[in-house]
Amino acid sequence: MEVFCYILACKATQKALLIDPGGDEGRIIDTARALGLTIESVVNTHGHPDHTCGNRKIVELTGAKIYMHALDDRLFNTPDGQSMARQMGFESSPPADVVLQDGDTIAFGEKELSVLHTPGHSPGGICLHGENNLFTGDTLFVGAVGRTDLPGGSMETLLRSIQEKILSLPDDTIVWPGHNYGGSPSSTIALEKNHNPYITDFQLIR
């Protein structure tokens, strides 16, 4: 499903976190080990199984803690939430060790990410901001946005999240999406303001 998993690391300490391990756990672990990194955290931008199906294996191999927004942690640990993973052929995630809220920070070594709660694709969707980089999960893609027809989704809520939490960031902020669905693997706030039809056509820029 062309899910992006990101490995972020602190150069000074070699401590690392993963964002959205959606499978290929062996490749992820091998890459981190080749770089001399210690994975301490798995952070999910939301609870959909294509972004969380690698959680269980990564935790078994590394002892990392799982971070997820409280709303999605509750939603996807219900029987209905777990059945979604099975129906899609994915491994369900264990419950989060750390439940997140808007404004929280997640440290890895001497670095940290700020949590922006951006519901709409799912109730507990988040973006992660640090050092002019924004990891948007399925809130914002290159040239598009995440679908809103799954349980807990809302296009109105998603567009409000983009308006209030994302478009207010500096134009040169680099956007790292949750899927490789666009013409390039990354973008910037400025490019999305000028070219993303969900921003331009819905008149989100004022």
Q: Which of 77, 68, 117 is nearest to 97 (CA)?
A: 68
In a domain, 205, yes or no: no
| pLDDT, block means (10 residues), the chain with 206 residues | 94 98 95 97 97 96 97 89 79 94 98 98 98 98 96 95 97 98 96 96 73
The position carrying tokens 């478009």 is 167
Domain that holds residue 28: 6-200
Percent of residues, the chain, with pLDDT higher than 90: 86
Q: Phi, psi (5° rounding) for residue 140?
A: -135, 125
Which pLDDT belongs to residue 206? 56
In a domain, 1, yes or no: no
Specify the CATH number for the domain of residue 95: 3.60.15.10
In a domain, 98, yes or no: yes
The position carrying tokens 């924004």 is 134
| Cβ-contact 7, 140 below 8 angstroms | no
Helix (H) or strand (E) run with residue 156 in it: helix 155-161
Per-residue pLDDT tens over the stretch 127-136: 999 999 999 9
Which pLDDT belongs to residue 205? 63
In a domain, 144, yes or no: yes
d(CA 34, CA 201): 45
In a domain, 206, yes or no: no
Strands 133-137, 174-177: parallel, antiparallel or unpaired by DSSP? parallel
Instruction: State how many domains the chain has.
Output: 1
Beta strands in 80-189 (DSSP E): 98-100, 105-108, 111-117, 126-130, 133-137, 140-141, 144-145, 174-177, 187-188
Which pLDDT belongs to residue 93? 92
d(CA 76, CA 55): 13
Q: Report the 10 Å Cβ neighbour count for 125.
A: 30
Which pLDDT belongs to residue 84? 78
